[in-house]
Chains A and B, each alone.
Chain A
Amino acid sequence: MQQPNKLTPFFENLNFERENNTMVINFGPQHPSAHGQLRLVLELDGELVTKAYPDIGYLHRGIEKMAENMTYNEFLPTTDRLDYIASTANNYAYALAVEKLLGIEAPRRAQVIRTMLLELNRIISHLFFLATHALDVGAMSVFLYAFREREFAMDLMEDYCGARLTHSAVRIGGVPLDLPEGWVEKLAAYIAKLPEEIQTYEDLLTENRIWKMRLEDVGVISAEDALNWGCTGPMLRGSGVKYDIRKEEPYELYAELDFDIPVSDRCDSYGRYRLYMEEMKESIKILKQLIPMYAQTEPQLMAHAPQYISAPKEEIMTQNYALMQHFVLVTQGMRPPKGEVYVPTESPKGELGFYIKSEGEPYAYRLKCRAPSFFHTGLLQEILVGTYIADVVTIIGSTNIVFGEVDR
């Protein structure tokens, strides 16, 4: 029996001697396979999970509350802290939602740069998924190989925006900087090398007996369940529903780009692993098409909307009226029109959407971040039941949840 005192509180959920011979154990929040701060309370009958209760909120920072107290531009760097593995996807989803509210569109060069960053970030995120998922399941070497390639991609990110994790590389209305000299060549070199590396990972894993035994028919979700539980991204496509927001509700340059949406109807962790590998190849394909597109664009980087977005620095320094508008925008913040908007985007984890309710003030009246991982965590209470305790780690890894965006 536990002896509770003020420093070691009593955990009422932990009970090892129950009448029906089940055991209740606590998984996390500090478990290395919990991908952050997930606490799972599992009821076990032998090694079989009979009940699972995901307990979240250990990383809750009140980001939606902060959004109501920050001007639109101030809030943008905060979105980095949602899904910190793919911050550009968050920055972009937020910026796009505000742009839809304002009714503006980023100039062509900014669109090319943004799409490049988004796809590079997808590669970074997928490599991270592969590395940690493999490590959880027991494949140490894949972790090291995948992290090596991820470092090169993060170097590219660093060359562009100066940060490796918290990029803030996208602004409302465009991007702040043009690509540095030689960046495109470096990117071309990277994506020329990456397919070989992906081949290495596939050689290591795809037909690996242990990998297949740990992943095949583990974490099975039917297409109906996946839709019902709000699964999106690879979780949905892994269950045979071909829905990718980039294709179905295209934003940015995705309507012009030629790429495929890989789908798997295996519905299990192995199918999802194959999807992630295929998606990386598709991202490489997209990046290859974007490189020649970049050269054909005009140098304008931010949209021209003087009411909402500051003029370029040269104009601010030379023209009185641009300076005045810049001063007002910096000190008071932009005031979007009244209205509400929900904009979904395809982040590496799934559907990342921002719902913004504006009352015409410089502060959002309400901002709701629809995070894919939040709903994938909710799914755990369903799919963990009936699996063995050894598969719990595989399933958590396969859902690819990141707690920055679960708890927000």
Chain B
Amino acid sequence: MRKYTPKDNVQAKAYYTDRFWAAPRVPREAVEEGGHFEKVVSALGESVKESYIEVGQLVLHIASTDNFAVIKTLKEVCGYTQCSEQSAVDYLARDGEFELFYQLLNVHEAKRVRVVCRIKKNEAIESIVPLFNSANFAEREMFDMFGIQVNNHPFLKRILMPDDWEGHPLLKTYPLHGDEFASWYEVDKIFGKEYRDVIGPENRDPAHIDRYDTKRFARVGYEVPFGTDISEGETEQSIEYSETFMVNYNKSSKQLDKRK
């Protein structure tokens, strides 16, 4: 029986992992008392489910329904006036959830906060564009890459992929080299679906290499005369390796040319 390969995460995986190996964790520190971050956590009150400091930045875990209220408090009370980044992490395979993060910056204190929340597969999230315009493009990119619906976004449309694209490329279920739709996208769009058979997989990709083409492509190590038809098989040719030896030309007084 062939080995079962999971379909819910088709990204590259380690081919070997020691059975006793356990990954350590980046240290998480408690929020120190009396500091700036403690004020932030107390200003948010009950809505913070978990808070800790990881690599110098405060991480706040909240419920996904609270995201607008929490970020509004952070902006208006705690002085986090810039939303540097907003995106998602796909945990559908493991937990059936997306993890969303909002990376906020306080310019006056030079402090950064990451607000993290989780949503289920078909749930939507409230847009924070009324608070931060920078989230306009960021949320559109998240929608494009993960298919996460954002409520009340002014213009939720694909941003990096074409409008008529199918699938969301950063999902773990999406293969690195694209799916069937992606490979036929140009052919379907320019000529129509019925031309898939006429054009064929060998012509849809300009980087495709035809091993029987002896007119245009140099077959290194397996050279045959130009234009030979090798579709019926080719004559075996022994590969000749280079016979250059490592010679130190600076030191050796050896004559390289035997005739001299």
Residues of A at the B interface (CB closer than 8 Å) are 6-7, 56-57, 60, 62, 64-66, 68-70, 100-101, 103, 225, 227-230, 232, 241, 243, 248-249, 332-333, 335, 337-344, 351, 353, 355, 357-363, 365-366, 368, 370, 374-375, 377-379, 382, 407-408
Add 19 more A-B contacts to A361-B13, A368-B85 (CB < 8 A). Answer: A56-B159, A56-B160, A60-B160, A68-B11, A100-B55, A103-B26, A103-B27, A225-B133, A228-B134, A241-B107, A243-B107, A333-B14, A338-B26, A342-B103, A351-B84, A363-B13, A363-B14, A374-B137, A375-B138
Complex: how many Å from CA A70 to CA B55? 24
Residue of A nearest to B87 (CB): A368
Does B191 interact with chain A (Cβ within 8 Å)?
Answer: yes
Does B97 interact with chain A (Cβ within 8 Å)?
Answer: no
Does B23 interact with chain A (Cβ within 8 Å)?
Answer: yes
B85 touches A363 (CB 8 A): no
Does B161 interact with chain A (Cβ within 8 Å)?
Answer: yes
Query: Which A residues are CB-close (under 8 A) to B57?
Result: 342
Given contacts A69-B11, A241-B107, are A62 and B169 in contact (CB under 8 A)?
A: yes
Tell me the count of chain B residues lying within 8 A, CB to CB, of chain A: 51
B23 touches A359 (CB 8 A): yes
Does B118 interact with chain A (Cβ within 8 Å)?
Answer: no
Query: Which B residues are CB-close (under 8 A) to A64?
Result: 145, 170
A341 touches B176 (CB 8 A): no
B85 touches A338 (CB 8 A): no
Given contacts A227-B107, A374-B137, A382-B133, are A366 and B90 in contact (CB under 8 A)?
A: yes
A377 touches B137 (CB 8 A): yes
Query: Which B residues are CB-close (under 8 A) to A377?
Result: 137
A69 touches B176 (CB 8 A): yes
Residue of B nearest to A343 (CB): B55
A to B CB contacts below 8 Å, 20 in the list: A57-B158, A60-B160, A60-B161, A65-B174, A65-B176, A66-B176, A228-B82, A241-B107, A243-B110, A332-B15, A333-B14, A335-B23, A337-B23, A337-B25, A338-B26, A339-B55, A360-B24, A362-B14, A374-B137, A378-B136
Number of A-B contacts (CB under 8 A): 138
B12 touches A69 (CB 8 A): yes
A6 touches B11 (CB 8 A): no
Given contacts A101-B26, A228-B134, A241-B107, are A353 and B16 in contact (CB under 8 A)?
A: no
Does B192 interact with chain A (Cβ within 8 Å)?
Answer: yes
A360 touches B26 (CB 8 A): no
Complex: how many Å from CA A374 to CA B136? 11
Does B166 interact with chain A (Cβ within 8 Å)?
Answer: no
Which of B12, B145, B191 has the largest count of A CB atoms less than 10 A from its CB? B12
Complex: how many Å from CA A89 to CA B57? 22
B82 touches A6 (CB 8 A): no
B26 touches A378 (CB 8 A): no
B133 touches A228 (CB 8 A): yes
Residue of B nearest to A68 (CB): B11
Complex: how many Å from CA A366 to CA B160? 18
Kindly supply a per-residue 1/0 record for chain B positions 121-162, scoring 1 wherever the CB is within 8 Å of any chain A CB and 0 otherwise: 000000000001110111001000100000000000011111
Contact of B12 among A70, A342, A344, A379 (CB under 8 A): A70
